[in-house]
Amino acid sequence: MNSFWLHPALILILGALVLPFLPGRVKRPFLLLVPVLVFARVLTLTHGSFGHVSFLGWDLVFGRVDRLSQVFGYIMSLMCILGNLYGLHVKDDRQHVAAWFYVAGSIGAIYAGDYLTLFLFWELMAFSSVFLIWARGREESLGAGFRYLLVHVAGGLSLLAGMVWHCNTVGSWEFSLTDVQHATPATYLIMIGFILNAAVPPLHAWLPDAYGEATFNGSVFMCAFTTKTAVYALCRGFAGMEILVPLGVIMALYGVVYAVLENDCRRLLAYHIISQVGYMVAGVGLGTQMAVNGACAHAFAHILYKGLLFMGCGAVLHMTGESKFTELGGLWRKMPWTFVFTLIGGLSISAFPLFSGFVSKSMIVAAGFEEHKLWVGFLLMLASVGTFLHTGLKVPYFIWFGKNQPKREVWERAAEPPWNMNAAMALASVLCIFIGCYTPYLYKMLPYPEVAAEYHPYTAYHVSETLQILLFTAVGFFLLLKKLVPEPVISLDCDWFYRMGGRAFLTFARKPVQAVDTFVGELYRLGGLIPLMLTARLAGLFDNYIIDGAVDGFARSVRRLGQRLRGVQRGQVQENLVFAFGVAAALIVAFLILANW
C-alpha cells in the first residue's frame, strides 16, 4: 500500500467487529455513532484515486472518488443512518452486524476502482445480507434465504467468469465503461451478474421472495442497497448499452402487474422495487447525460421513499405481527403517525408534485422522449399509473382504511411503534418532501450538474400532465375497488421454474440416482466386499495359526530349553564356563567319532 486511506466501509467493518463486545448501555449510542462517522467520512472525500494496494502483481484500487460514486456513497451512508435509527431498539446483535457488513459491501463496491475489489465487496453484500433473512427465524425465511444465496452465488460466478475473461482480453482489471458498441461474451457475462442484482426479469424472483421474509428492519436495509448498487455498476460500466432499454421498460411494467396482484404489503413493495429500478435500467440503457442523471437521481430518491414505505409496513408487521392486506384494515385509528409517513412515501413513489419522485422519475421519461424513443417515454408513463394505483392507493387504503376486520389479537396489539421507528420515518418523510421542493439539493450532486441545471420539472405542462394521470388513476381505483380487493392467493412467478426444478432434481436424486447408487453398492458388496472380507479372514487365520504358530512355537521351545538349563546353573561364573566348555568338547568328540564311523 503506497499510502493509508480511510475507507468508509472500513469504519463499518471495524464497528461490526466491536459491537458484540460492548456493554448494553453503550450499544445504542454506538449504533448511531458509527453510521454518522461513515456519513461524515463520505462528505470529506475528495475526488481522485486512493487506496492503491499491490497484491500478487495486481494493482487494487479501493477508493475511486468522482461525482458518480459520490452521489451513491452519499445516499447509501445517509440511508445507513436512517436504517440504524429505525432498528435502534433491536437487541439482536447479529442483525446489526449483518447490516453493517452489508452496507460496507455496498459502499466498497461503489468506490472500487477495479474488478477484483468490486467482486470482493459484491460477494460481501450477498453473504452478509442473507442473515437479515434468516434472522426472522421462520421456516419460510430459512428457505427464502437459501434460495437468495444460491441465486446470488450464481450471479457472482457469472460476474467472476466475465471479469476474468474480459481482463485477460484487455490486459487490465480497471472497472470502467466498457465498449458497449462491440460487446463480447465476457461483457454479457459481467452484465448478467449486474442485472441479476438489479432484479431484471427473469432474474428477479429472488427479490420479493427474500424481502418479504426478512426481518422488519432487515428489509429496510435490503430494499436500499443491492439493487441500487447494481444500478451504480451499470451506470459505471454499461451506460448506453441498448439492450438495457427494453429490459428496463419490461421491468417497469412487470413489477407493476405483480404488485397489483400481491396480498402481502412487503412483497408488493418488493415487486415495485423491480418496477422502479426498471426506470433506472432504462435510463442507463439510453446512455445520454440526461438519462444517466435521471437514473442516479431516481436511485437517490428511490432509496429514501422505498425505505420509508418499508419502514411503514415494517412498523405494521412489528406491532401487529401481520403484513397481509386480508388480515389488516382500519389501522389509522391505532397508528396515525405511521399512516401519515406511509402516505408520504406513497405520494413520493407515485411522482406526485412536491415530492421526490416527481423530480427524479421525470428526468428519465424526458430523456426517452429526447432520444426519439417515444415508446420508452409512453410505456414508462403507463407504469407510473400502476405505481400510483397500488403503492399510492392500494397500500394506504387496505392497511389504514380497509373494511376488513382484523383479528382481535391483531387489533389489540396495534399501536404506534417505538419512538426511534417514528423518528426514522419522520426524517425520511422530510427528505422526500425537501427533495421534491428544492431540486438543487439533488441536482447539484448528479454526475452532470450542468445538464441537470437546465432541466426544470415544474413546468405547467408537466405538472398538469402528472395531475391528470394521477386523478384518472384515482377515479379508476375507486370505480374498480371491488375488483382490486386483495385475495389470499399465491401469484406464480419465474421462481416457479427453479422451485419446481429444485424439486424435480431432488426427486431425481432420491429415486433413479439413489436406485443406481443402491444397485452399485449392492453389487460392490456381493462381488467385492464379501470376497475381500473372506480373503482377509483366511489371511488372518494363516497368519495366526501358521506363521505365528511356527514363530511362537520356536520361541516357546527355546524358552523351555532355557528354563531347563537354568536348573544346572550353580551361580559361579567359572563353574558355568567349565561346564559349558565341557559340554562343547563332548559334543565335538561325539561328532568326530560319528564322522569317522
pLDDT score of 596: 67
pLDDT digits (tens, 9 = 90+) for 100-109: 999 999 999 9
**C-alpha 251 chain-centroid distance:** 20
Element (H, E) at 37: helix 24-43
pLDDT score of 493: 81
CA distances from 368 to 179, 321, 472 (A): 22, 43, 23
Among 269-278, 298-307, 561-570, name the one with the lowest average pLDDT.
561-570
Helices 139-170 and 115-134, packing angle to 10 deg? 180
The closest alpha carbon to 203, from 214, 194, 212, 213, belongs to: 194
pLDDT digits (tens, 9 = 90+) for 380-434: 988 888 888 888 888 888 888 877 777 778 888 889 999 999 999 999 999 999 9
| CB of 283 closer than 8 Å to CB of 251 | no
pLDDT score of 332: 87
pLDDT band at 573 (very low <50, low <70, confident <90, very high): low
pLDDT score of 443: 94
HEC assignment per residue over 147-173:
HHHHHHHHHHHHHHHHHHHHHHHHCCC
CA distances from 402 to 332, 393, 543 (A): 10, 11, 87
Q: In this model, does residue 130 exceed pLDDT 80?
A: yes
Q: In this model, does residue 566 exceed pLDDT 70?
A: no
pTM metric for this prediction: 0.84
pLDDT band at 64 (very low <50, low <70, confident <90, very high): very high
pLDDT digits (tens, 9 = 90+) for 457-496: 999 998 999 999 999 999 988 888 888 887 777 778 887 7
Who contacts 469 (Cβ-Cβ below 8 Å, separation ≥6)? 381, 384, 385, 388
d(CA 172, CA 169): 8
d(CA 447, CA 69): 9
Between vectors from CA 315 to CA 312 and to CA 317, what angle results, nearest 5°?
Answer: 115
Grid cell 506363521 in the structure block, residue:
547
| CB of 281 closer than 8 Å to CB of 234 | yes
Across the chain, mean pLDDT equals 88
pLDDT score of 502: 77
| CB of 192 closer than 8 Å to CB of 244 | no
pLDDT score of 14: 96
d(CA 576, CA 572): 6
pLDDT band at 438 (very low <50, low <70, confident <90, very high): very high
CA distances from 593 to 289, 579, 590, 596 (A): 124, 21, 5, 5
pLDDT band at 529 (very low <50, low <70, confident <90, very high): confident
Domain borders along the chain are: 1-234, 243-483, 508-566, 572-597
pLDDT score of 517: 82
The letter for the amino acid at 184 is T
pLDDT digits (tens, 9 = 90+) for 322-378: 888 888 888 888 899 999 999 999 999 999 999 999 999 999 999 888 876 788 888
> Please, what's the largest Cα pairwise distance for the chain?
145
The closest alpha carbon to 302, from 245, 250, 232, 253, belongs to: 232
Among 231-240, 432-441, 566-575, name the one with the lowest average pLDDT.
566-575
Q: In this model, does residue 520 exceed pLDDT 90?
A: no
Among 38-47, 397-406, 450-459, 555-564, name the one with the lowest average pLDDT.
555-564
Q: Please state whether beta strands 58-65 and 48-55 pair in parallel, antiparallel, or not at all (unpaired).
A: antiparallel
DSSP 3-state of 54: strand
pLDDT score of 565: 62
Grid cell 453389487 in the structure block, residue:
523
Grid cell 387504503 in the structure block, residue:
397
Buried b (16+ CB within 10 A) or exposed e, 112-130: bbbbbbbbbbbbbbbbbbb
